[in-house]
Amino acid sequence: MNQTEARKRIEKLRREIEEHNRNYYVFNDPVISDFEYDLLINELETLEKQYPEFYSEESPTRHVGSDLTREFRQFEHKYPMLSLGNTYSIEEIRDFDSRVRKSVMGEISYVCELKFDGASISISYSGGSMEKALTRGDGTRGDDVTENITTIKSIPGRIGSDAVPASFIARGEILMPRSVFKELNEEREKEGLNLFANPRNAASGTLKILDPSLVAARKLDCLFYSLLGDDLPADNHYDNLKKLQEWGFPVSDSYRLCRNLDEIIGFIQFWETRRNDLPFDTDGVVIKVNSLDQQLQLGFTAKSPRWAIAYKYKPERALTKLLFVSYQVGRTGTVTPVANLEPVQLAGTTVKRASLHNADQISLLDLHEGDMVYVEKGGEIIPKIVGVDKASRSDTSMAISFIEECPECGTPLVRNEGEANHYCPNILHCPPQIKGRISHFISRRAMNIEGLGEETTDLLYTRGLIRNAADLYDLKAGELASLEGLGEKSASNIIRSIEDSRNVPYYRVLFALGIRHVGETVAKKISVRFRSIDKLISAGISEITEVEEIGPKIALSIKSYLNNPENIELINRLRSAGVQLESEAEEAATGNVLRGKNIVISGVFTKHTRDEYKEIIGKYGGRNVSSVSSSTSFILAGENMGPSKRAKAIELGIEIKNEEEFLKIIGEI
């Protein structure tokens, strides 16, 4: 490789890695495995050493990926949160040990810990009470997610012991148990939402939800791995971990004090397969120098501590034959290709199927009929095809093309511009979509009708007893009792649960209708602005897009649904059945000082939450809108106001009021 070729390759690698960093840290949707990512990083590091003339402080080898987002307020880390150097080689662990022993004096011991795969968190405590919780961010600054962290029951808000330092920082990994992850993805699949690739992505994405009640519902957990501060109880990492446990912090019992290389290797080998039995995902082992003084002597590189290294287990993969590709139709009509495989053992389970996601994935893999394919388990949970053994491919095998018609109803499939998925537009008459919408309607977070599982719903549909959600309210106990697997008691309980669902609040009914792109959070926001289904039906697209975070795509989907006569008939039947299609009467307006004013909210506030300010604006006669325009009366701005909103306000001459000025207007101060 000459100098010109090296420069081009280095620039290309930097662009690719930064894109993968965004996918991983910001969007929680990685498109390559950790192993593939590490190969790219290693190649870039090697080239940068060979060609130092192309050195750049901005290279991804010089800094950690960033998960900073505009929605949260940022603070500086007292101690930088750096990434760990990692390896897949025992030989490189030997080299690490050799470097450490050459660099410091005295006896050396290490602490080996399992590397749990979640979202890093740094929580500061003062006077024994939680003060602030920050994400890794860019390593220097992190997002303040304290409100969300307080919903995680395993994390102590206050330490009972009097022996804790005046201030300290506990660092850990926010985790989603595999069982919770499985339930979450099953719910998302029923709702027609994209599935999380693995528990790490689910945990990280959950941590950035703006509604703490939704965070609490996700049942996150945490395991702590580090204690930092100026007045620590011990001069070594091992004993400080023990103190964290004594103070009530959850710490994995798997960590071990190792006094030589053989013990480190023994730890790595011991957990290589046993880790699959743990409730959380792990992807390796972290080896840390135990002595804090020796850690200080060894210091840091620009990106990583020199006193620690992560040994990564290679992802377990298997080679098996692709038998055929089938296609599943989801509740919202999304068509997902599924690879059907010759059964193969992988990570302790038998794998027979793997998701192919969409047509682009099939094309990227260049899949042919009868290919021998490499299968991995993404996050040890979801099997995925990661490659093809093209050397074994038959010369006569045909490339696999995505189907053009719905496999269930024969309707030509549609793929909207800018979307990855194909979907069946026959929304009202495609059987899987009908059954999927009914299952969604009765689900726990929608109408919460108990006793009607997927099998029973399918049976009711097959027998012709239900064709849409409104038919549920016409069911009789006798009809249900005669079905296979149900008796009089079960039938009575189902009918009672259907009766109870008439009291489910309007926003959940709106969510239960299964409108494309309208999830639980969107339904809540819409129900605040349009307090009855009739007001929403009469609203125009421009009015709907004025609701915060509701763009043209969602607004168009809502109007498309409500413009369909069959959907209006469904809504009218639900109304006749006594289902709640409007919010309870609003409290009388507190005043009219904001009457006729369109107010944009931006930033982070201290006196009230954003949702509380939206409610306050409505009570005083005003209207909360999401985007800045010439009709905006003023902007209520907190800290970290969005720069695009600020620029637009300055351009249009829109007044910006801070929290104190706003509260004076309504007479709160």
Same domain, 530 and 608: no
Same domain, 267 and 229: yes
Q: What is the pLDDT of residue 26?
A: 58
289-332 per-position pLDDT tens digit: 999 999 999 999 877 899 999 999 887 788 999 999 999 998 78
User: Cα–Cα–Cα angle for 70, 71, 72, nearest 5°?
Assistant: 95
372-413 per-position pLDDT tens digit: 999 987 544 568 898 899 999 998 999 999 999 999 999 999
Tell me: pLDDT of 505 over 50. yes
Greatest mean pLDDT range, 19-33, 74-88, 344-358, 401-415: 401-415
Tell me: pLDDT of 98 over 90. yes
Percent of the chain with pLDDT over 70: 93
Q: What is the pLDDT of residue 416?
A: 84
Same domain, 248 and 109: yes
| Interaxial angle between packed helices 454-462 and 431-442, expressed in degrees from 0 to 180 and rounded to the nearest 10 | 130
Q: How many domains does the chain have?
A: 5
User: Cα–Cα–Cα angle for 465, 468, 469, nearest 5°?
Assistant: 100
Greatest mean pLDDT range, 189-203, 240-254, 339-353, 479-493: 240-254
Q: What is the pLDDT of residue 378?
A: 56
Structural domain that includes position 488: 431-576
Using a 10 angstrom Cβ sphere, with 0-12 exposed, 13-18 middle and 19 or more buried, the burial of residue 356 is buried
Q: What is the pLDDT of residue 497?
A: 95
Same domain, 109 and 194: yes
Confidence at 270, pLDDT banded by 50, 70, 90: very high
221-263 per-position pLDDT tens digit: 999 999 999 999 999 999 999 999 999 999 999 999 999 999 9
Q: What is the pLDDT of residue 191?
A: 62
Longest dimension (CA), the chain: 83
Q: What is the pLDDT of residue 1?
A: 77
Cα–Cα distance for residue pair 225/249, rounded to 1 Å: 10
Name the amino acid, one letter, at 158.
R
Tell me: pLDDT of 641 over 90. no
Q: What is the pLDDT of residue 218?
A: 87
Q: Which residue in the list 115, 190, 384, 645 is annotated as catalytic?
A: 115
| DSSP track, 173-223 | EEE--HHHHHHHHHHHHHTTPPPPSSHHHHHHHHHT-S-HHHHHHTT-EEE
Same domain, 243 and 334: no
Same domain, 212 and 304: yes
Asked which of 312, 327, 354 is the last residue of a domain, the reply is 312
Residue 212 lies in a domain: yes
Using a 10 angstrom Cβ sphere, with 0-12 exposed, 13-18 middle and 19 or more buried, the burial of residue 64 is buried
Domain CATH code at residue 34 = 1.10.287.610
Residue 115 designated active-site: yes
Tell me: pLDDT of 347 over 70. no
* Nearest by Cα to 141 from 77, 88, 48: 77
